[in-house]
A and B are shown apart, each in its own frame.
Chain A
């Protein structure tokens, strides 16, 4: 099963590299990050065994960490993104 996950990750990496050469305008970054998030989720769930753990606390820690990172990134951009001067 690990080999299947490995293959999936390699394929998604190749897709990421090649799709960067296609002009999608602003969506290039979105697509790249969506694929990256998919890859990261696969690593967390399968390689790090989170899909198979019975420990609720592990998932709480992961969700919390991501939540706080999102606060850092979104509130910072809410500041800089709403400034009129450049």
Chain B
């Protein structure tokens, strides 16, 4: 069983390696455009809701804790505790998605969704001066920031939804008594996926929310 356990774990790690390249492509796009449009990215970043972003980071860290504790509960044959912790993990995951929903709604109201209705307000432009004749191009370039914001947080949110779905299954199977000290491989691998999604957010948070936050002009 040891060999099968290692094989399963290796399979998940290889999948996570592909996921890293999947997100990596968008991080590369972010890197290129942030390098090209530093001021526009700063403007965009400052309009994001920092308290909500930080709260979401904490929520995901809590969810990673509950996953790790759930696996340890399985190792110690504490089935009820394991199920409770798995349920908590999903609650944290759903909390993250709800907060993200509020953030996106706020973006919609402020006309920060790229497209025909995109509009930067005077407040958004605070601290940055742009010639009126360049304003159109400036708004175009700032839309790039928001496109990347929605694409990256959207892809991440999709992974969260899939993760919650996975854990729905794991919680059910765990409640049915399928996991214990002798066998908890699916929990371990589900945990690996969940931690990976947490790590992606650990990088997304500073890169999206913390550009030029200390602007003093």
Whether A associates with B in a native complex is yes
Min distance, Cβ B125 to any Cβ of chain A, angstroms: 20
Query: Once the chains bind, are A65 and B20 in contact (CB under 8 Å)?
Result: yes
- Taking CB atoms, residues of chain A closer than 8 Å to B27 are 69, 73
Those of A10-62 within 8 Å (CB) of chain B = 10, 13-14, 16-17, 20-24, 28-29, 32-33, 35-36, 39-40, 43-44, 46-49, 55, 57-58, 61-62
Query: Known: A47-B195, A65-B17. Contact between A77 and B9, CB under 8 A?
Result: no
Query: Known: A48-B191, A68-B21. Contact between A76 and B72, CB under 8 A?
Result: no
Chain A interface SS verdict (over half): helix
Measured CB to CB, the nearest residue on chain B to A8 is: B61
Q: Which of B13, B32, B62, B205 contacts A58 (CB 8 A)?
A: B13
Query: Once the chains bind, are A55 and B10 in contact (CB under 8 Å)?
Result: yes
Query: Once the chains bind, are A40 and B24 in contact (CB under 8 Å)?
Result: no
Measured CB to CB, the nearest residue on chain B to A33 is: B206
Query: Once the chains bind, are A81 and B35 in contact (CB under 8 Å)?
Result: yes
- Taking CB atoms, residues of chain B closer than 8 Å to A64 are 17
Query: Once the chains bind, are A48 and B36 in contact (CB under 8 Å)?
Result: no
Query: Once the chains bind, are B195 and A43 in contact (CB under 8 Å)?
Result: yes
- Taking CB atoms, residues of chain B closer than 8 Å to A46 are 68
Chain B interface residues toward A at CB < 8 A: 6, 9-10, 13-14, 16-17, 20-21, 24-25, 27-28, 31-32, 35-36, 50, 54, 57-58, 61-62, 64-65, 67-69, 72, 188, 191-192, 195, 198-199, 202-203, 205-207, 210-214, 216
**Would you mind naming 9 contact pairs between A and B with Cβ atoms under 8 Å apart?**
A2-B69, A6-B65, A16-B206, A23-B214, A28-B214, A36-B206, A55-B9, A64-B17, A72-B28
